[in-house]
Homo-oligomer: A and B are copies of this chain.
Amino acid sequence: MAENTAEPGAPGHAPRRLRADAQRNIDSLLEAAKAVFGTAGVDAPVKEIADRAGVGVGTLYRHFPQRSDLVKAVFQREVDACADEAAALAAAHGPERALEKWLDRYVEFLATKRGLAAALHSGDPAFDALPGYFLQRLGPALGSLLDAAAAAGAIRGDVGAEDLLYAVSTLCRPVSGKGPAYSRRMIALLVDGLRYGAGRPRSASA
């Protein structure tokens, strides 16, 4: 197995500084992969991704030795982007509006990764760590928004971030017949539910 390959998705210290063109290609590949996965699903030909990124397949495989590495990297990158947006939204809007907007963003994220979801639950051990990453990254992001909104008295304080993440993702899974409009309606309902007990910071009433 390749050990010294840059591990994208876990931003931090690189083993050795990456050459500029290599970094550029990695970025192109991730962007291309995101687009192709969204259009043609996670099973799209690797060649297509390489072509779209403007590199050869050799380059692709240098950076992502296995197909699953690319999938993982794209997933993590999108999780990161979604999580990071929480702070940005919190800075740009009031607590309630920020929460609303972030949930929209989260729904969009879920829609994008529709294809990925199947891969995640396919039992391939390569993806075992991803659900954990998902929660670890998105949980605190949503948690801080919830806390802020609760502190501002806009929503109740007794709903956990992970529960809400899970509930929304469940509601976004399209059942036969229901379209995305259904999902949006149900999620709006959920958010109104949050508002219902606004001001009561702790203790769930019966």
- Interface residues in chain A, defined as those with a beta carbon under 8 Å from any beta carbon in chain B: 41, 114-115, 117-118, 121-123, 128, 131-132, 176
Q: What 10 pairs across the A-B complex have the smallest Cβ distances?
A: A118-B122, A118-B121, A118-B123, A118-B118, A115-B123, A114-B123, A131-B176, A121-B121, A41-B123, A132-B176
**A115, A121, A131 pick with most chain B CB within 10 angstroms:** A121
Interchain CA distance A117-B122 in the complex, whole Å = 8
A42 vs chain B, min Cβ distance (A): 9
CA A117 to CA B115, docked complex, whole Å: 15
* Residues on the B chain within 8 Å of A131, using CB: 176
CA distance A122 to B116 in the complex (A): 9
Residues in B whose Cβ lies below 8 Å from that of A114 = 123
Residues from chain B with a CB closer than 8 A to the CB of A123 are 41, 114-115, 118
User: Which residues of B have CB within 8 Å of A132?
Assistant: 176
Complex Cα spacing A135 to B122, Å: 22
**Chain B residues with CB under 8 A of A121:** 117-118, 121
Please, which residue of chain B has its CB at the minimum distance from the CB of A121? B118
When distances are taken between beta carbons in the complex, the residues of chain B under 8 Å from A128 are 176
Least Cβ–Cβ distance between A17 and chain B, in angstroms: 35
